[in-house]
Amino acid sequence: MFQNDKDVFNVLFEAVSEGVIVVNTKQQIVSTNKSAEDMFGYTKGELLNAHLHVLIPQRYHANHGENFDGFMKNREKRQMGHGRDLYGAHKNGHTFPVEAGLNPMDINGETFVMALVIDISVRKKQELELQTLNNELEKKVETRTIELITTVEELKEVNKERDLEIKKRIEAQDKISNALKKEKELNELKTKFLSLVSHEFKTPLSGILTSAMLLGKYKLEKQQEKRDKHIKTITDKVHYLNNILNDFLSIEKLETGKINYKYSTFKLSKVVDEVVYNANMLLKEGQTIKYPENIDDYALYQDEKIVELALSNLVHNAIKYSPEHGVIGIEINQNETETKFVVSDHGMGIPKADQKQIFNRYFRAENALLTQGTGIGLNIVKSHLENLGGSISFTSEENKGSTFIILLKNKAE
Ligand code: ADP
C-alpha cells in the first residue's frame, strides 16, 4: 500500500501532530512519523523493525504482551489504557505519560495496528498542579472552617458572658432602685413624721405644759386631788406621745425588714389582762370593757408583744371612736389550730366610702379627723399579723359601730 500515492501519504503522515506508530502482529515497528520519533527521541532508522517494547517502559512489558494479544483477538478500534495511566519510554531513559488510540487494519492480507500517541506530560503536570492546588484549597477550607467554628464558639462564649454581665447589671440596677425606693419611702416617712410631730404633738405638749404649770400652783395639802388629776393628764399624754413614737419606729423596722419576732408560749388571759388594764386608763366617762374571763385554758405559741400590740390597738380605737357610756366588747375563741379575737364598739363607725382604705398607712376616715390620731396603727397591726401568718378584717356601719376580727394560728411556724 505504501507504494501508491506515496508522496501524498507521506506528507499527511508526517504532518500529523500525534505520534503515529504502526506495528505488525509480532509487534515489530513497521512505520513511524516525525511526531512519534521526536516524542520518543529516536530516528526513523532506529525504530523501524525494532520491537514495540523499546517505546514502553520495562516495568510494563509483561502486561503489555497480554494486552496486545487480547486486543488482536477482538480487533476493534479503541483507546488504550482504559482506567490506568500509560507511559512511553524515551530513548534517553526517562518515561513520560501518553495517551494512545489503537486502530487495527488489514493490508494485503497482513494485519497491522496503528497506534496514535499523544504526549500528555504537560496536561498531566497541569492536572497534578491542579490537584495540588485543589488539595491545598481543601486544606485551607478545612482550616478556615475549623477557625470559623472556633470563632463561633468563642462568640457564643462572649455572648454568654455578655448576657451574664447584663443580668448582673439589671440585678444591680434593681438593687439600687429598690434601695433608692426604700430610701425615698423612709424620707417620706421622716417628712411625714416631722409634719405629724408639729401637728399631733402640739396639743398634748401644750396640755402637759398647762398641767405642769397648774401643778406648781396647787401647793396646799388639801389640793392633792387636783395635783393627782394633772399628774394623770401628764402621764396619759406622755403615754400617747410615746405610742406615736413607737408606731413610727415600728414602721421603720417593718420597712427595713429589721424585725425579729420572738416566739414563746403564753397564756391569753395574761395578754387580755394587760390590754384591759392599760385601756382602763383611757376610758371615757361611763365607758366599760366587756372581756372574757373564762379563757385560762387558752394559750398561744406566738410573739406575745405583737399579739398585745394588735389587741390593744383595736381596743384603744374602740375607746377613741365611741362615745361616753359606750360598751367595748372583747371576745376570744380558740379551736384546735386557730384563735379568733373580736373587738366591737358602738361608736361612730367607718363611712362605707372610706372602708377599703382603712389599712392604708396614714389613712384616716373622714368622720375621724376631729379625733387625734395618725392613721398608722391599723397599718402596722396588719403588717405584723400577716408576717405571723394571721389576718385582720372588720365590719362597720357609720354611727352604729365597728367590729374588728383578728385570726391567728395557735402555733407560729
Ligand atoms: P388612728 O386611730 O391613729 O387614726 P388607725 O390606723 O388606728 O389610726 O386607724 C385608722 C383609721 O381607721 C382611723 O383614723 C379611723 O378613721 C378608722 N378607725 C379605726 N378603728 C375605728 C373604730 N373602732 N371606729 C371607727 N373608726 C375607726
Provide the total of helices (H) and of strands (E) in the chain, helices listed first: 11, 13
> Distance between CA atoms of 393 and 378, rounded to whole angstroms?
10
Average pLDDT estimate for 98-114: 90
- The preferred substitution site among 309, 321, 396, 400 for testing ligand 1, maximizing ligand atoms within 8 Å of CB, is 321
From ligand 1's centre to the CA of 317, what distance in Å? Answer: 6
Q: Which residue, judged by its Cα, is nearest atom 9 of ligand 1?
A: 375
Which CATH number does 264-409 carry?
A: 3.30.565.10
pLDDT tens-digit profile of 15-65? 888 999 999 999 999 999 999 999 999 999 999 999 999 999 999 888 887
Dist CA 248 CA 201 (whole Å): 13
Quick one: which of 399, 397, 391 has its CA closest to 310? 391
Q: Taking Cα atoms as reference points, which of 300, 327, 330 lies closest to residue 408?
A: 300
Q: Is the CB of 373 under 6 A from ligand 1?
A: yes
Q: How far is CA 46 from CA 40, 82, 165, in A?
A: 11, 29, 87
Residue found under cell 389550730: 337
CA nearest to 41, candidates 106, 92, 99: 92
Backbone CA torsion sign across 291, 322, 315, 325: negative
- Burial of 200 per CB tally in 10 Å (0-12, 13-18, 19+): middle
Give 137-162 pLDDT, tens digit per residue.
999 999 999 999 999 999 999 999 99
User: Span 313-321, mean pLDDT?
Assistant: 97
pLDDT at 51: 95
pTM for the full model? 0.57
Ligand 1 geometric centre to CA of 298 (Å): 28
- Whether residue 1 has pLDDT greater than 60: no
User: How does pLDDT run across 384-412, given as a tens digit for each residue?
Assistant: 999 999 999 999 999 999 999 999 999 98
- Whole-number pLDDT of residue 367: 96
Other beta carbons within 10 angstroms of residue 16's beta carbon come to 13
The domain ranges of the chain are 6-119, 124-256, 264-409
Instruction: Determine which of 4-8, 81-85, 226-230, 233-237 has the lowest per-residue pLDDT on average.
Output: 81-85
Q: Is the pLDDT of residue 366 over 70?
A: yes
Residue 400 or 206, more confident? 400
Query: Which class is domain 6-119?
Result: alpha beta
pLDDT of residue 5: 67
Query: Using one digit for the tens of pLDDT, what is the confidence trace for 257-296?
Result: 788 899 999 999 999 999 999 999 889 999 999 999 889 8
Q: Cβ(398) to ligand 1 under 6 A?
A: no
> If you average pLDDT over residues 213-241, what whole number do you get?
90
DSSP secondary structure code for residue 218 in this structure: -
pLDDT in tens, 161-199: 999 999 999 999 999 999 999 888 778 877 877 777 777
Nearest CA to ligand 1 atom 19: 317
Q: Is the CA virtual torsion 140, 145, 151, 154 positive or negative? A: negative
Query: What letter represents residue 172's amino acid?
Result: A
For ligand 1, the distance from its centroid to the CA atom of residue 393, given in whole angstroms, is 13
pLDDT at 175: 95
For ligand 1, atom 14, the nearest C-alpha belongs to 364
Model confidence band, residue 82 (pLDDT cutoffs 50, 70, 90): low
- Model confidence at 4: pLDDT above 80: no
